[in-house]
Amino acid sequence: MPSEIIKLKNVCKYYKRGENKVKAVDGISLSVNEGDFIVIKGPSGSGKSTLMNLVGNLDTPSCGKLYLDNKDTSTLTESELSQIRGRKIGFIFQQFNLIPSLTAKENIMLPMIFQGIDRYERHKKADELLKLVQLEDRGEHYPNQLSGGQQQRVAIARSLSNDPEVILADEPTGNLDTKTGDTVLHFLERLNKKGKTIVMVTHEEDIGEYANIIHWIVDGKISKTKRKKNNKKETKKKTDKK
């Protein structure tokens, strides 16, 4: 049985907007298991990016429980959570989020600094990752000297710098043309086949082919889940409890 890495149990996230309460995530339960390729789909404003932040333990829930490595994250200090998150989870963002004053290689090395990796190992790992994403000749280039696709590949390399078990990708193809986006998706697919767990948020319709689990989110709730087992798709309607 694959091990459970992340678990959400009846999680919600509410915001105040004037006199109104916005239910961005409204009582969602889901699990992320080793080896999954999960796609979370939904229209703009459905709550999928808020859900991604909760899955990645970048935000705290208004209610419910988050578990990372079977640990209730509410019992951890921010320092403890940051260290576990840094080891377990790599993040890829739609806007790339590269630091413009750092080279591609320095951007890749940055997460390793926060984990206390020594300088020699940081350089060695960054060179390996640049080669992995086929940018070994772009390591000393700054983000504004790279194309959008190259910047996203640097972001992928950065997400792998601490060899995390889970890669969270928030609209990773949103700022890319179709051809470059397909290249990024195929790369994520290869990472999954090598054992990485992938969780991806998207509004694009045709990306689900890469996933073994697809969750549709509407108005902060999971409305439907589709699972692939032995190349057969199974669709299950979900009703979330408030």
Assign residue 204 the CATH number of its domain.
Answer: 3.40.50.300
pLDDT of amino acid 235 = 42
pLDDT of amino acid 234 = 42
Q: Is the dihedral of CA 163, 39, 148, 95 positive or negative?
A: negative
From the centroid of its chain, how far is CA 124? 25
Residue 202 in domain: yes
Residue 164's domain spans which residues?
A: 4-237
pLDDT tens digits, residue range 175-195?
788 888 888 888 899 899 999
Which of 40, 1, 14 is CA-nearest to residue 238?
Answer: 40
pLDDT tens digits, residue range 35-60?
999 999 988 889 998 999 999 999 99
Residue 242 in domain: no
pLDDT of amino acid 168 = 94
Is-contact 52 199, C-beta < 8 A? yes
The model scores a pTM over 0.95: no
The whole-angstrom separation of Cα 22 and Cα 75 is 26
Cross-strand bridge partners of residue 67? 7, 72
Residue with tokens 């439907």: 224
Q: Would you tell me how many other CB atoms lie within 10 Å of the CB of residue 182? A: 14
The whole-angstrom separation of Cα 222 and Cα 79 is 31
Is-contact 226 214, C-beta < 8 A? yes
Q: Count of domains in the chain?
A: 1
The whole-angstrom separation of Cα 222 and Cα 28 is 7
Residue 100 in domain: yes
Residue 50 in domain: yes
The whole-angstrom separation of Cα 43 and Cα 150 is 27
Spans of the chain below 50 pLDDT: 231-242
